[in-house]
């Protein structure tokens, strides 16, 4: 069984969409994979309760309890690696995990670390993507699933969804419409990754 570990910091709506799709489409039977754990850097992350309700193991590592970013990432890696054999998960998924990861952490999970970003990368990496798109006068926004590298939001693009910007949109309205597409493309991209990895095995 290939274990998937999901990292969150907040409500966990993308995590919930992934878990729902994994169960509905029976990833265990089709890909030999399951969501094994959800880990948060915030104890008050609402997504933790959602995960527990689905019978998924959860863990909290408060980043403020560590002396440095490197110390937190090292502790996080130790927790993640408990969820598979021979010591690392098959796939690590960032779903609203609001931490910039150190290069050493990214290298540890190279090729097995995915993220979703609320813009059509390479446009608007980083924060405040919807506001930037509106200020730039864009006609479209969207979301991108990509592999994580040491360069912020620069990894290989695996999937994208296009969302039109409507007259009168504000950042919150646009974000809500983009989020509905995130919930569709992220599970699809993960399933495609699992299928491709299975074909290569």
Q: How high is the mean pLDDT of the chain?
A: 95
Whether 183 is catalytic: no
Model confidence over 25-70: pLDDT tens digits?
999 999 999 999 999 999 999 999 999 999 999 999 999 999 999 9
- Kindly report, residue by residue over 93-114, the tens digit of the pLDDT: 999 999 999 999 999 999 999 9
pLDDT of residue 91: 96
Set 30, 83, 117, 128: catalytic member? 117
Please, which pLDDT band fits residue 84 given cuts at 50, 70 and 90?
A: confident
**Structural domain boundaries of the chain?**
2-200
Q: Tell me which CATH homologous superfamily contains domain 2-200.
A: Formyl transferase, N-terminal domain (3.40.50.170)
Band (pLDDT 50/70/90 cuts) for residue 87 is confident
Say yes or no to pLDDT of 77 above 70: yes
How many C-beta atoms surround the C-beta of residue 156 within 10 A? 11
Give residue 199's pLDDT.
57
143 phi, psi to nearest 5 deg? -140, 155
pTM: 0.95
Residue pLDDT, tens place only, 161-201: 999 999 999 999 999 999 999 999 999 999 999 999 865 64
Best CA proximity match to 90, nearest among 153, 36, 154? 36
Please name the residue that has the structure tokens 């150190």.
102
Query: Given this model, what pLDDT does residue 112 score?
Result: 95
- pLDDT tens sequence across 113-130: 999 999 999 999 999 999
């Amino acid at each position: 069984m290939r274990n998937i570990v999901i990292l969150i910091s907040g409500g966990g709506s993308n995590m919930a969409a992934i878990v729902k799709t994994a169960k509905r489409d029976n990833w265990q039977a089709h890909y030999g994979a399951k969501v094994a754990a959800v880990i948060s850097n915030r104890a008050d992350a609402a997504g933790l309760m959602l995960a527990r309700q689905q019978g998924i193991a959860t863990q909290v590592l408060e980043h403020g309890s560590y002396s440095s970013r490197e110390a937190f990432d090292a502790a996080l890696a130790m927790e993640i690696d408990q969820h598979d054999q021979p010591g690392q998960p098959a796939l690590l998924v960032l779903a609203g995990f609001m931490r910039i990861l150190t290069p050493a952490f990214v290298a540890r999970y190279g090729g097995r670390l995915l993220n979703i970003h609320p813009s059509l990368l390479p446009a608007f990496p980083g924060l405040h993507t919807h506001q930037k798109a509106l200020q730039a006068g864009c006609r479209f926004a969207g979301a991108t699933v990509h592999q994580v590298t040491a360069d912020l939001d620069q990894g290989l693009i695996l999937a994208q969804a296009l969302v039109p910007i409507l007259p009168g949109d504000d950042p919150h309205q646009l974000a809500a419409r983009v989020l509905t597409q995130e919930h569709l493309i992220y599970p699809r991209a993960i399933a495609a990754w699992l299928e491709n990895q299975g074909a290569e095995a």
